[in-house]
Amino acid sequence: MKQKEILVAGGAGFVGSHLCRRLLDDGHKVICIDNLHTGQLNNIESLLKYPGYTFIKHDIIYPFKYDGHLNEIYNLACPASPKDYQAQPIQTIKTSVIGTMNLLNLAENNHCTFLQASTSEVYGDAEIHPQSENYWGNVNPIGIRACYDEGKRCAESLCMDYHRQFGTKVKIIRIFNTYGPNMRVDDGRVISNFIVQALRGDDITIYGDGRQTRSFQYIDDLLSGISKMMQTSDDFTGPVNIGNPDEYSILELAEMILQLTNSPSKLETHPMPIDDPKCRRPDISLATTMLNGWKPKIGLEEGLKGTIEYFKEIHKPISA
């Protein structure tokens, strides 16, 4: 395999750090940029041993200059947890809009392929279930989640406009709830929250009645989908849903984590957050067709076991 020079924006984050490792293991040269607002240096500490790895602290809302020639750019730079993006909404939308435009300009200058990590949040509180790529979504454009939802929708628009106007080679994936090692303890998303609370013996925080549903994808399945997306022909832009169609209620998730951690934690209910989607499940028909038969392989229980072991290593369990 010919060595490529690859830029990963947001490469110190949860997904980005895993992607950097996979690209390095495939023999490529990786330039990781991250402003470390939500990314973590400990995620990339083990990557520093690779001779082809470079980390640069940089915020993509400012143009990035690179002296070499890039073959691929992956844009994963944006806070993905409601806790994080609602704390800095203006920074979040600037990252999705201005930051994406800066990286698209870089891709155009290098004549390289650009992958945009979009999100299932573009579907909002969906009125169609499951969600396929031709559904335009039900998003509140002035709500507290809009900085992320609408920012990502605008980023997709920019990708397609660069493709139509300049012929930029773009790939858009819509990532559904993904979990695994390298998630932050204070990430604020449901799986990390539940695992940390269970390990501490704290009450498990359930919003609403817990009957709202989500589809959870293990990080390895996402990486496989990303790799197959980048192998598609230049005329295929997506967007493509990358997620696991197995659907669980939040209550079912909580009970599974309590069982796997053998935790004495109890369930504690709180009011439902504003604009929180009632259900989320990807239609992956397009991915299976266009991404060489891609389907998720790791079930929720198997993925949770590995994730729980990761959190046990970085957080003292309740039995200690």
Active site residues: 148
Spell out a b/e string for 87-108, using b for 16 or more CB atoms within 10 Å of the CB, else e. eebebbbbbbbbbbbbbbebbb
Please give the structure tokens belonging to residue 14: 């949860």
Residues in the chain: 320
**CA 304, CA 290: separation in Å to the nearest integer?**
28
**CA 274, CA 140: separation in Å to the nearest integer?**
10
Q: Where are the beta strands (DSSP E) in the chain?
A: 5-9, 29-34, 53-57, 72-75, 113-119, 170-175, 178-179, 204-207, 213-215, 217-218, 240-242, 247-249, 267-270
Instruction: Compute CA 252 distance to the chain's CA centroid, rounded to the nearest angstrom.
Output: 22
**CA 34, CA 22: separation in Å to the nearest integer?**
18
